[in-house]
Structure 1
Amino acid sequence: MASRMRKLFHRQNAGAIEERRKMRKELFAFNKTVEHGFPNKPTALAYDPKLNIFAIGTSNGVIKIYGAPGVEFMGIHSGDFSVSKLFFLPAQGRIISLLDDNSLHLWEINLKDGGSTMEEVKNFMIEGRLKKISVCCLSSDASRLYLGTEGGNIYLLDVESFDLEDHIVYQDVVMQKLNDSPSSSVPDDFKVNPGAVEAIAQHPSDKDRLLIGYNRGLMIIWRQSELMLEASFVGHQIESLCWHRDGTHFTSSHNDGSYQVWKVSGASSPAKEPLVPYGPFPCKAIPKILYLTTKSEPFTIFSGGMPRASYGDRHVVTVIQDKTQHVVFDFTSKVIDFFTMSNVNDEDEFDEPHSLVVLVEEEIVFIDLQTKGWPTFQLPYLSSLHASAITSSNYICNVPSQLWEKIQEVGEHQQQNVMSTRDFPVIGGKNLVEPPAYHDLLLTGHEDGSIRFWDASASAMKYLYQVNVAQLFTAEGGEQNGSPGVVEAEEEWPPFRKVGNFDPFSDDPRFGVQKVVLCPQSGTLVAGGTAGQVVVMKMGEDEEEKKTIEVVQAKIVVDDKFVWKGHEALPVREEPFKFPRGFQVELVAQAHPPAAITALAFQSTWGIIAFGTSHGFSLIDTTLKRLIVSHCTLNPHDLSVTGEHMSRRMSLTKSLRASLRRVRQKRGTTKPRKQRERRSNDTGGKVIEGSDNTPTTPEKESRGRGFDDADLVPIERKIEARSEDPKVSMVRYVYFANTFVRDAHTATPSLWVGTNAGVIYIYSLGVPTGENRLQGNVVAEISKEIKLKHGAPINSMVVVDSDNNPLPDPIEVQHECAKPPNMSGHNLIVCSEEQFKVFALPSLKPRYKTKLTAMDGSKVRKVAFINYRSRNNDSYSENHISCLTNQGELGIYSIPHLKRQDHYQALRRENVTGIASLLFTPRGEGMYLLSPSEFERFTMSASTVTEPLCMLELAEGMRPVPPEPEVEPEPEPAAEATEEGAGGDADAAAAAAGAEVAQEAKPDAEEQEPGEKDAMH
């Protein structure tokens, strides 16, 4: 009987369920869209001068190709091998990759779905130890790839067929020719074993001549068509070779830090003596050298060559032009490769380089060779996000144009006289995405006390501006200088110049920015630090005269028994300080004890900030610059806390007890046991939450609304009551709301504070308005206190109105950025690590709850309240809770019924850094650290997708013309049939057609949910 009732219920509600499924597809769709920042562990670099694009290969087999801002392509090799070399086939939109497993791969950028995509089309593997590829050289016509090997032979790969040619330059044959040459002055020991092929270079005008360098120092010019040795040269151990543009000379670099210029015709002796630029003491090798001509003096550009003893740890690229211009560009990470850019053709007389591009392990730097002083370019993408380690982040949507323009202006002023004024030189490809109609900011807080502003409106994330909070304090490392860019070194030899932004060292770990908040309407920036410092800054258009920084002390723990054994507070600079244009300090609040800021909120309309630490929280009046209230959350057992990192890991005893309890529950009866209250005594004014009569989501919503979709039912598990942890005083979340706290008739400003122990403190605030604000004090009185029964840490809270809309910030309503809230039917949504719960206000009566996690180790780590818009109807939207667990799973839950709408496995559970760094955006997107240097951007919204859509415009004939579709012959007319037979056939045909339509429609009806698919790049 029950099964019949269920079937009848399903049949009656099938239409509503199907309609809801369609709506979910219009609202939700998970996709990983684009990677922002700098590729992790780069290993290879290539440049296509014809299409003006460049490529970076990485140690995990990824190839990324970049052109103009917004032009980006990515390919991933199937095996987990490092990319050793990259070679563009100029103007063809093709690139060859060599992996460290000795395999070669051909990639093409082809048109697909309205844009261009990168596809692997061919591959080839060379096997054998002696055939290990040591160096490659692409012929000038891109028809051959010369493969030099460890065994000393050179193989020729035909690019079109992607297979080896029969012709091989055998080392034995070369040595025989060398022995037969009467004019050869090569010592005998070089003729026996010259070593691996170290360098290959094709003559700039005569394609038949190859310059080959062997490891031990033997160099030859080989004429391919005649298999003839034209000339031989002997030097020190070879690192690299390069032809001069006229083809009459070439330059070699060596492992002893020297380089030589050789004349091709005439004697096989160098045109100049070996030059050791940073000798005479032993120097490191010069891995790569370029000799480039100009109408004035030539350029000599090389990497390495530093004196071993004094500067052997430096990562440098030297640029020399005549005797007056000599700069050693000093980087903070290892040099991978470099190339130069120019606008000349092959027929031109000079090289005329205008830019130098250097790839190092942690960043890429573009250097302007046309501007005096050789400044660096401002990057429109590929910025080093981790110039200092990222410690916090925040995403701001819809930044007002006025503030946006100010940020851009002060950022440009900050780079004035530091960066090149020329346009960025890489402009290849075509961006097909229209410029966004809005401005979005990503704020990143860093270990060195800096806050960086990034334009996150499009797929190419651009650096805008930097604020250095550390300069407000003094520390053992001395004063901080927050001006990014080039740092001029003192007069010394070699003439070093520090370039690039990557700087992994911090003078003092207390500078680290733990929380950052921006109010875009008021232009106020608030940052919380590692040593309990909270800095309030406001955008200033003009440079501010020297003034003393005002400090508010917030003593959270007042008990004399408390002993703080952590770090000291940072001393604020006492002397008057001159503030440059941009964000200028208004106030510094200092928590005592000086523990790291764990929660931060700012209410610009009321002029107050709230922040929490591991010991409690404080409320500060930013208008009058005074402390309103502090509250200590420590219990008597915490008075000897040392300020060490808090851990919620179970002890061995607790873990064993939990395991045995689970076993007993599985073997026991299925009857539910009544859960006991954690505190049965008089609570003394506290509200103890956790009544078992609170309906769960399936009971409340499915019966009330008629939905019984099995895949939407949340996975609810029993939550185990935990023992009191003595270290649960940390404040996790602070929140301001203008809602009903004391009664249902009058809405008042309020502060809500959630702790690690599952406690919520509710304060009623009295905020003077109008002219009284500057004279009257803000009054804060504790109104209520909630203790969650399961005691899980509070991740987030929000008050929603009767329309299920989170209450907007009052300043957003004032500036017409948000609609005024509905001031009736307010509910409080509390999101802890283990469950979500809805309370009616002001009674705090529980209405709905859903248990997300249980004893299997799953915990909610991140929560956001997001408005999802329909991709087919922009006027329709729904508010939902989005969350991430420590298992890497994303979930979407309805408001207020807390019914799960969708879920996706986004990250691996082992990716602890990615989970900890994830942030949601108000538009239904998100970001997390894919590596220390790059963010992975994803979307859960079907209507909001930020991804590159671009194409390469190739010359006609670069791709084969697709064959025209064959015209199918018309079917012959069928023989006439009787009317009955025709009718029968027609019915049969209709039935068959109906069956075919049903067969085609079936996969759509049973389509796998997006969250069940594996996430793909």
Structure 2
Amino acid sequence: MLKFIRGKGSQATADRIKLQKELFSFNKTGTHGFPNHPSAVAYDYGLGLVAVGTRTGLLRIYGAPGVEFYSQLENETEIRQILFIEGRAQLITLSADSCLHLWEINTKSKENDVKNGVLECVKTFDYFRVEALKEGSIKQITTIAVNCNSDLLLVGTQMGNTYLVDLDTFDLSDQIIYQDVILQNIPDEYKFNPGSVEVIAEQPLNPNKFLIGYNNRGLLVLWDNKTLSVDNYYFANQQLESVFWLSNGQQFISAHNDGSYIVWKISDNLHPADQPKTPYGPFPCKGINKIIWKTVQNNDDFIIFSGGMPRASYNDKNTVSIIQGTPESGKHHVLDFTSKVIDFLVIGPQNDTKDFDNPTTLIVLVEEEIVLVDLTHPEWLQHKLPYLSSVHSSAITCCQHYSAVSDQIYKKIVEAGKVHNTARFTTNEWPINGGQSVANNLNAGRELLVTGHEDGSVRFWDSSSVALQHLYTLMTNKLFLVSDDDIALIDSDDNALNETNAEDEWPPFRKVGTFDPYSDDPRFAIRKISLCIYTGSLIIAGTAGQVIVFEFNGEAIEKPLISNQLNIVGDKDGFVWKGHSQLTPKNGNIKFESGYQPSSIVQLQPPASVTALALYAEWGLLAAGTAHGFAIFDYLFRKVVSTKTTLNPNDLTAVSGGDALISRRKSFKKSLRESFRRLRKGRSQRGDKRTASPTSTAASSSSPSKSIEEGRKSPKTEVIQIEAKPVERQIEARSAEDSMGSMVRCLYFSNAFIVNNSTQTPTLWAATNAGNVFIYTMVLPSDDKRASEDVSSQLAKEIHLKHRAPIVAIQIIDGNGVPLPDSFEVQKGVAKIPTPGGHRVLICSEEQFKLFNLPNLKPLHKFKLTAHEGARARRIAIAQFISKTNDSHLEYHALCLSNQGDVSVLSVPELKRQMQTQCTKREDINGISSLVFTRNGEGFYLHSSSEFRRFSLSARHIVEPICTVDLPEGARPSKPIQQRPPIAAASVTEEPIPPKPQREKAIEEKTQPEEKIIHEEKEIIEEPLHEDKELQNDCADESTPTSGIDESPVNHNDFEPPEINYNTLPEPSDEIIADEELLTNGNTNGNAVNGDNDSDSQLELDVDIDVSNVTESSVKTNSLDITIDSVRDHLANLSISVAPEANEAVKKNPSPIPNESLPIINSHEGAIEGLELCRKCELH
């Protein structure tokens, strides 16, 4: 009855709820790293912004460090091409479904009237998508281009036609450049199917002419849009890949699929002045995918292209070639990337005279990174990236976050990174500098994100601001020999022999970028990292049991490696290690650069992967744990303090080697038999009464360490059984780690009241997968005797949790609920002196959290996670939360990430839940396993293999991009983007062709919803969100971006047609009188659009045609003389005016008039249909 008397406990008061809102708020604030699966890149030369699109429809824009804008297509369609409308903060994207989207960076107001830029889609043009659904791929868009006046968008299609879109209205223009018309201006011997439009390039200094290139057999046409005629044509006889104009507009260069390029003059025709050049011929080469030609004042021109490598020798290379001068005698580098080249750009200063380009930077977007090359540097060095870094240059295997790093340590790390990067990166300023960042950095100090990688490298990142900047890389693999070192020596890029032969190598390759997916040895992988942010001591542990101690040194030295063997298992009966062997340290003196240098190497035996690591720099001690036990090491004097094995007989097989961990049942019968045995065993024990079993001492270490033996025999060792009522927990598959009870999951150094409540003692807490906690007291000699006396340890107490769940975190808190600080934190003034009494310890297992009094270990509070919610804890941390309205109000809370992807905030010490929110998807195993919390209530997790997602649980501490882009006055069109206004019926003089996309838009809306763009709102999200949609600029207002189209449903009863607009132009079904001729395509009406052919509702609209401009050559009276071209010319010269009787006819029948136009014959295959149409005209 007691639980009914207690009820549900005290509820939160109104004041507490108000305070919670001031303390907690869940926000996904940004991403760090490189976008996953990039697909397009563009640059705004006027505003200094770069845009990157991805295969999942994510669009990101970057400027100066801290200037970032995000948005996402709702249908996650791949972005194929991006074009900036320069100087307007507008851009156009082409998606894989042939939709065009117009985006704008608009300024919105956030809290406290802070201005912030928001990237939003203001218009979607899906005419080509609708047509592609009807007619197939022939209407798909292949390429787009913006003219220099920024008023027209040129759209090339698979069919070979080129359409013009008015950028002021984002609507289809009346003009269409048909491929048939172009072929009429080409000699008969070159009339063939040119194929799709491959490239459209406007002629510099002449906005009325642009070059249209077709992919089949290299046909190029210089089209004069003023005279609507072909000015010239060029024939290369090779499939066209790319075209680029010289800045003077008198020459252009074309690249082809056989690895050649041709320089043309506009006066050339079929035979260029220069012969085709194949830079890496004469043997067959891969195609040149893209080419750029830039001029330099007082120097040779740049020719930069991707691809073109010899097929036989370098077919697998991903390259961008830079040639200044000629390929034979000029300066020539071939940039060799480790992933596929997506696109590249060349940027330079704005030059009004256009006499010379003077390029400054080459931007290369590849599949796994972005590289910027300084073309003004004599060696063409790379720019160091302030953002968009390849955090996954080698696969990330672990990460740690450190807050309030001392300035001294931070500066040392930065200086060490500069020394390493001197010969690799240019010192010139970062060239992308658009926008302004107005974010306020509330961080009290520097923050570091430290990542360990598969190749044995450790990278330091500055995470203090929006831009995650790389500081320093430490390589641990150089300390060990590789099993195939003889082969590696031959293939190594550092080999002196290769350096001498590099000069004679052709093509002249040069490795660029940082992404390297290959690892020499999987044992190099980093598993645990521990850093003291006050002394700079660094401990790194790896997969083969290697634990390396690093100390910072500002000078380069040469010294031998010192290695210590540490046997955890010892002579344990029945144990045989079957896994990988240990790494072999290099012999002799090794030269180390300034920065972190190894002071000692501790090799654990057996050489299993390190699963837990702890460092206490003040004591000079480290502890490392594996699946077999743990060890304590004095790294100041390189002495073993003690070892402890956690193995029991049941674990011997499980931890005997790596092969056993991944074994599979080879026999179905054996597996089934064992399942029934377990079932029978469970039934037989179902009625047994649960009792506290005596603590087994079999898990004690057999290590010869004297201190352990003394601890085992000591009568002071106290074993405490923690009673736990059996609860129904969710049944789920346990991982290999969970199945090994001997695995050490947590190690924790601290001063604690463990012996009595008056004396603090240095202690080590070690916890395992089986729910066991071993508490060791440490005896530390004084500083003057430390060199002569050894540090000793003694087992003081053991804790065995009855539910035997893996323990993932241990933290001691003082009487005020504040985590016990490190001694250095108190000395530096970062933390207050803890209260002298009332200390408690928080022990967190995967299933429940418990708070115990010290030193008697009496339980105080408990929070059950698995029993109530069926979840398991994966990450636990203590964070501080400061009120956003009151700086003096500070609270500490426990943060918990579960295997369901949700994050909970629990009060300390009461362990009451304050907030719960969904952070990532429960299916995102990689994100859950990689998540780390910070001391300020933030978190990082791998959103994909190449980028971190950053989030905050604190209402005050939010690091997010707040930035704007200032536009000059009148940069954008003054009138808003909208549809054309209706025109009076009596004055309609527009041509009935081409078909207006508005009607197709309206018809499509009946069956398919309009594509929308999702912008993230800043709120606590209780349900899983899409990984890319959830990250948008939080300052977007609630108004949805309008597309410029009136999407309200049409009410036929309210239809009033006093005017005829573009949506009600005459249909092919409407009879058009043209000087005794009637052109018709049958009788259709508004109902016919929906499949209703009721003749009673048909409407005939009489229209008078002004044929004063129709010449004899354009209209033929004999049906035998009518051709496709004559019909087109005939229709092009018609001037339509609607007869007054039309309005009367409309009033009698208010059905909406469809706006289909006469069918346009776009190819020779449509000739028969066109002749039939013309014969109907002849008959009428």
1:123 aligns with 2:113: no
Tell me, in whole angstroms, the C-alpha distance in 2 between the residues paired with 1:649 and 1:457: 46
1:813, distance to aligned residue in structure 2 (A) = 1.7
Tell me, in whole angstroms, the C-alpha distance in 2 between the residues paired with 1:791 and 1:1013: 31
- Aligned-partner SS, 2:861: strand
1:749 aligns with 2:755: no
- Aligned-partner SS, 2:360: strand
Kept after mapping to 2: 8 A contact 1:549/1:574? no
The one-letter amino acid of 1:310's match is: S
Tell me, in whole angstroms, the C-alpha distance in 2 between the residues paired with 1:625 and 1:351: 62
Tell me, in whole angstroms, the C-alpha distance in 2 between the residues paired with 1:242 and 1:402: 51
Tell me, in whole angstroms, the C-alpha distance in 2 between the residues paired with 1:78 and 1:601: 45
1:689 aligns with 2:721: yes
- Aligned-partner SS, 2:222: strand
Question: 1:361-395: CA deviations, max 9, x gaps?
Answer: 00000001111011111111111001111111011
Counterpart mapping for 1:866-1015 below 5 A: 866-958=879-971, 1010=1020, 1012=1022
The one-letter amino acid of 2:317's match is: R
1:560, distance to aligned residue in structure 2 (A) = 5.1
What TM-score, normalized to structure 2? 0.75
Question: 1:960-997: CA deviations, max 9, x gaps?
Answer: 7899xxxxxxxxxxxxxxxxxxxxxxxxxxxxxxxxxx
Question: 1:426-475: CA deviations, max 9, x gaps?
Answer: 11110112455521111001111111010100000101111111111111
Structure 2 residue aligned with 1:254: 256
Kept after mapping to 1: 8 A contact 2:568/2:645? no
Change (3 A) 1:553 1:577: farther
The one-letter amino acid of 1:438's match is: G
Counterpart mapping for 1:471-870 below 5 A: 471-478=478-485, 490-491=502-503, 492-559=505-572, 561-640=574-653, 641-644=655-658, 646=661, 676-677=690-691, 679=693, 687-691=719-723, 727-854=740-867, 858-870=871-883
1:229 aligns with 2:222: no
Tell me, in whole angstroms, the C-alpha distance in 2 between the residues paired with 1:429 and 1:211: 33
Tell me, in whole angstroms, the C-alpha distance in 2 between the residues paired with 1:719 and 1:210: 67
Question: 1:782-803: CA deviations, max 9, x gaps?
Answer: 1111111100101000111111
Kept after mapping to 1: 8 A contact 2:765/2:775? yes
Kept after mapping to 2: 8 A contact 1:84/1:100? yes
Kept after mapping to 2: 8 A contact 1:367/1:374? yes
Counterpart mapping for 1:3-14 below 5 A: none
Structure 2 residue aligned with 1:441: 448
Change (3 A) 1:748 1:453: same
Kept after mapping to 2: 8 A contact 1:556/1:618? no
- Aligned-partner SS, 1:452: strand
Structure 2 residue aligned with 1:240: 242
Note the aligned Cα RMSD (angstroms).
Answer: 3.2
Tell me, in whole angstroms, the C-alpha distance in 2 between the residues paired with 1:657 and 1:119: 62
Structure 2 residue aligned with 1:290: 292
- Aligned-partner SS, 2:363: strand
Question: 1:728-773: CA deviations, max 9, x gaps?
Answer: 2111010011011122222110100011111111111101122122
The one-letter amino acid of 1:171's match is: Q
Kept after mapping to 2: 8 A contact 1:450/1:482? no
Structure 1 residue aligned with 2:1077: none
Structure 1 residue aligned with 2:92: 96
**Which of 393, 396, 416 in structure 1 is aligned with 2:399?**
393
Kept after mapping to 1: 8 A contact 2:30/2:466? yes
Question: 1:805-833: CA deviations, max 9, x gaps?
Answer: 11111222222222122231111111001
1:225, distance to aligned residue in structure 2 (A) = 1.9
Could you tell which deviates more after superposition, 648-657 or 137-146? 648-657
Structure 2 residue aligned with 1:355: 361
Change (3 A) 1:424 1:655: farther
Kept after mapping to 2: 8 A contact 1:388/1:502? yes
1:550, distance to aligned residue in structure 2 (A) = 4.0
Change (3 A) 1:268 1:333: same
- Aligned-partner SS, 1:112: strand
**Which of 55, 65, 69 in structure 2 is aligned with 1:69?**
65
- Aligned-partner SS, 2:416: helix
Structure 2 residue aligned with 1:219: 220
Kept after mapping to 2: 8 A contact 1:717/1:851? no
% identical equivalent positions: 44
1:1014, distance to aligned residue in structure 2 (A) = 5.9
Kept after mapping to 2: 8 A contact 1:863/1:882? yes
Structure 1 residue aligned with 2:23: 27
Change (3 A) 1:652 1:359: farther
**Which of 286, 302, 307 in structure 2 is aligned with 1:304?**
307
1:243, distance to aligned residue in structure 2 (A) = 1.1
- Aligned-partner SS, 1:353: coil
Question: 1:320-349: CA deviations, max 9, x gaps?
Answer: 011320110110000000111111324320
Change (3 A) 1:4 1:540: closer
Change (3 A) 1:84 1:820: same
- Aligned-partner SS, 1:165: strand
Kept after mapping to 2: 8 A contact 1:552/1:625? no
Tell me, in whole angstroms, the C-alpha distance in 2 between the residues paired with 1:118 and 1:303: 31
- Aligned-partner SS, 1:927: strand
Structure ID, larger Rg: 2
Could you tell which deviates more after superposition, 427-436 or 804-813? 427-436
Could you tell which deviates more after superposition, 765-774 or 64-73? 765-774
1:938, distance to aligned residue in structure 2 (A) = 0.2
Question: 1:133-162: CA deviations, max 9, x gaps?
Answer: 111111111111111111111111111211
Change (3 A) 1:649 1:910: farther
Structure 2 residue aligned with 1:150: 158
1:657, distance to aligned residue in structure 2 (A) = 11
Structure 2 residue aligned with 1:40: 36
Change (3 A) 1:343 1:874: same
Kept after mapping to 2: 8 A contact 1:38/1:382? yes
Change (3 A) 1:687 1:440: same
Kept after mapping to 1: 8 A contact 2:561/2:601? no
1:315 aligns with 2:318: yes
The one-letter amino acid of 2:798's match is: E
The one-letter amino acid of 1:458's match is: S
Tell me, in whole angstroms, the C-alpha distance in 2 between the residues paired with 1:776 and 1:727: 37
The one-letter amino acid of 1:138's match is: V
Change (3 A) 1:220 1:359: same
Change (3 A) 1:4 1:787: closer
1:59 aligns with 2:60: no
Tell me, in whole angstroms, the C-alpha distance in 2 between the residues paired with 1:743 and 1:587: 36
Question: 1:625-664: CA deviations, max 9, x gaps?
Answer: 011111111102333433237589998899999999999x
The one-letter amino acid of 2:16's match is: R
1:163 aligns with 2:171: yes
- Aligned-partner SS, 2:300: coil
Tell me, in whole angstroms, the C-alpha distance in 2 between the residues paired with 1:98 and 1:350: 31
The one-letter amino acid of 1:123's match is: T
The one-letter amino acid of 1:69's match is: P
Change (3 A) 1:633 1:961: same
1:854, distance to aligned residue in structure 2 (A) = 3.9
Kept after mapping to 2: 8 A contact 1:926/1:939? yes
Change (3 A) 1:961 1:248: closer
- Aligned-partner SS, 1:780: strand
Structure 2 residue aligned with 1:138: 146
The one-letter amino acid of 1:87's match is: L
Structure 1 unaligned segments of length 5 or more: list them: 179-183, 695-715, 964-1006
Structure 2 unaligned segments of length 5 or more: list them: 110-114, 666-670, 699-716, 977-1016, 1032-1180
Tell me, in whole angstroms, the C-alpha distance in 1 between the residues paired with 2:676 and 2:626: 32
Tell me, in whole angstroms, the C-alpha distance in 2 between the residues paired with 1:830 and 1:857: 19
